[in-house]
Amino acid sequence: MSAISLEKLTKVYSTGVRALDGLDLDVGDGEFVVLVGPSGCGKTTALRMVAGLETISGGTVRFGDRVVNDISPRQRDVAMVFQNYALYPHLSVAENIGFALTNKKIPSAERQRRVRLAAEILGLSDLLNRKPAHLSGGQRQRVAMGRAIVREPSVFLMDEPLSNLDAKLRVQMRSEVLRVHKAIGAATLYVTHDQVEAMTMGDRVAVLHGGVLQQYGTPRELYGRPANLFVAKFIGSPEMNLFEASVSGDELVLGSQRLTLGPAETVLAPYRGRKVIAGVRPEDLELGGGAGGAALGADVRVVEMLGSELHVFFAIDAPAAAASALAATAGEAEAGLLTGQTLGGVARLDPRSAVRSGQRVTFRVDPGRLHFFDPDTGAAVR
């Protein structure tokens, strides 16, 4: 049985904005689920409906087997960490953390014990008498978590808790958050717009776009088998390369080049003689043609040295995925952005590779590593 399950959860604001459309999601006991998507896709809305802060326009929210739609947030036993922390500015760290316990009429000794324990877990023991104004961003973030964990909630919600921290601290806090999650073991729904955060933290990750769930699965599934063009583009950095191609016999026609498909051919049977969108991850392109795969010739445009790896931006004469196909899943603005970007792609290579801009290179591609998407619906072809 799931700790949290959402069924056809829908939110239409009174302005008419449909912020969330039929979200189905379940979070197991003690599971850490990440809700990820670009800004404005309805993540906060979903989280706030789970908390009970936003009225539900349609669908149900269950905690265990109990429907909580009509239960006040006061009685839901949820704890939430807000994006801006929402600390009480006039109360000290200790008072902030212990505030909920005073409402529960928990005796002072017990309260102090729990506050001290939470402070210890979070490394706040020396700051208990400070006011939030005198804390750093990371410390405030910890206080916000402390305030949530003293309550020993059954459901733990976090709305972009790390997005106000600087890059370095953010990375550090990721493992911190996970450690706290392990310590309290509550089912957690974690919202972020950062796909790296989602991939590194989530037991499972739900990708949301335009209020609609795109895919829900483990990070490995999302990365390895994206359900549609949006997920393919959104997860992974640098992004997956997408090309408009057509299928002719057992070959994929990419501009003037032809790639032998091998076993992938059967999947594409329905697309024979038609267009399809082919995708390949940057790390699946290897330098040097020849044995065991199809070859793809490309002109190197820009080479970016990152130290641990080399990003090689290249051009081929195949058109990038058409706007219409991306629009099906990605929305118009997004589609414009995607097509405008490349008439080629990027490869992630060994930093020792000798590649210079202007050079003509041949990439070897394992056809089994290619992803295919329907150009009209954007759905993965499997």
Partner 1 sequence: MSAPALAPPAPPDQAQARAETRRERKRRERLEERDATIPVELYGLRQGTVTLLTACCVLFAAFTLVPIVWMIINSTKTQANIFSSFGFWFARPFEFFHTFANLFRDVDGDGTYARWFYNTVLYSVVSGVGATVLAALGGYGFARFEFRGARLLFAVVIAGLLVPITLVVVPLYLVYAKVHLINSIWGMIMPSMVTPINLYLMRTFVELSIPRELLDAARIDGASEARIFFRVALPLMVPGLMTVLLLSIAATWNNYILPLIIFSTNNLFPATVGMGLWLQHAGNSGDTNLFPLLVMGGLVTIIPMIALFAILQRYWRGGLLLGSAAN
Partner 2 sequence: MSSSTEVIAPARRETAARRAPGGRRSAYARRRGRSGLAFVTPFMIVFMLFMIVPLIYAIYQSLYTTKLIGGTTFSGFANYSTVLRSGPFWGGVIRVIIFGGIQIPVMLAIAFFFATIFDLGVAKWGRIFRAIYFVPFAVPIVVSSLMWGFLFDPAYGPFNRFMNAIGFHNFNWLSTNLMVPAIIIIAIWEWTGYNSIILYTALKSVPRDVVEAAILDDTPLWKIILRIKLPLVRPAIILLVFINTIGAMQLFIEPTILNNYQAGVVTNTWTPVIDIYSTAISNGEYQLGAAMAVVLAVVIIAISVASLVFRNRRREFT
Ligand X SMILES: Nc1ncnc2c1ncn2[C@@H]1O[C@H](COP(=O)(O)OP(=O)(O)O)[C@@H](O)[C@H]1O
Contact criterion met (CB below 8 Å) for 296 and 259:
yes
Minimum distance from residue 16 beta carbon to ligand X (Å): 9
Q: How many residues does the chain have?
A: 382
Minimum distance from residue 198 beta carbon to ligand X (Å): 13
Binding-site member from 4, 6, 9, 19 for ligand X (CB under 6 A)? 19
55 binds, among ligand X, partner 2, partner 1, none (CB under 5 to 8 A by kind): partner 1
Site string for partner 1, 54-73 (x = CB under 8 A): -x----------------xx
Residue 290 burial (CB count, 10 A): 8
Q: Before 238, cis peptide (omega within 30)?
A: yes
Q: What is the rounded CA–CA span in Å between residue 162 and residue 19?
A: 23
Nearest to 59 by CA among 28, 18, 30: 18
How far are the Cα atoms of 158, 247, 255, 319 from residue 244, in angstroms, in the given order? 39, 10, 8, 6
Partnered with residue 11 across adjacent β-strands are 20
Minimum distance from residue 216 beta carbon to Mg ion (Å): 19
Site string for partner 2, 19-58 (x = CB under 8 A): --------------------------------x-x-----
Distance linking the first and last C-alpha atoms of the chain? 30
* Residue corresponding to tokens 């958050």: 177
Q: In the complex with partner 2, which residue's Cβ is closer, 84 or 136?
A: 84
Residue 82, CA atoms < 13 Å, CB-side half-sphere: 7
Determine, following the binding rule CB under 5 A, whether residue 44 of this chain makes contact with Mg ion: yes
Binding-site member from 1, 15, 167, 382 for ligand X (CB under 6 A)? 15
Binding-site member from 80, 180, 229, 330 for partner 2 (CB under 8 A)? 80
> How many amino acids of this chain bind partner 1 (CB under 8 A)?
9
40 binds, among ligand X, Mg ion, partner 2, none (CB under 5 to 8 A by kind): ligand X
Planar angle of CA 198, 203, 208, nearest 5 degrees: 45
42 binds, among Mg ion, ligand X, partner 2, none (CB under 5 to 8 A by kind): ligand X
Minimum distance from residue 175 beta carbon to partner 2 (Å): 25
Amino acid at 162: L
Residues 66-105 that bind partner 1 (CB under 8 A): 72-74
Determine, following the binding rule CB under 6 A, whether residue 34 of this chain makes contact with ligand X: no
Residues 258-277 that bind Mg ion (CB under 5 A): none
256 binds, among partner 1, partner 2, Mg ion, none (CB under 5 to 8 A by kind): none
Determine, following the binding rule CB under 6 A, whether residue 44 of this chain makes contact with ligand X: yes
Render the burial of 61-90: b for 16+ CB within 10 Å, e for the rest.
Answer: bbbeeeebeeeeeeebebbbbbbebebeee
**Phi and psi torsions of 303, nearest 5°:** -120, 125
Site string for Mg ion, 141-180 (x = CB under 5 A): ----------------------------------------
Stretch that binds partner 1, among 26-34, 35-43, 48-56, 125-133 (CB under 8 A): 48-56
Determine, following the binding rule CB under 6 A, whether residue 241 of this chain makes contact with ligand X: no
Q: In the complex with partner 1, which residue's Cβ is closer, 72 or 256?
A: 72
Q: In the complex with ligand X, which residue's Cβ is closer, 68 or 207?
A: 207
DSSP character string of 16-68: S-EEEEEEEEEE-TT-EEEEE-STTSSHHHHHHHHHTSS--SEEEEEETTEE-
Q: Is 8 left (phi over 0), alpha (psi -120 to 50) or beta?
A: left
Q: In the complex with partner 1, which residue's Cβ is closer, 72 or 266?
A: 72
Q: In the complex with partner 1, which residue's Cβ is closer, 151 or 281?
A: 151
Question: How many angstroms separate the most distant Cα atoms in the chain?
Answer: 77
Contact criterion met (CB below 8 Å) for 6 and 52:
no
Residues near ligand X, by CB under 6 A: 13, 15, 17, 19, 37, 39-45
Q: Which residues bind partner 2 (CB under 8 A)?
A: 51, 53, 73-75, 78-80, 82-84, 86-90, 99-100, 103-104, 131-133, 147, 151
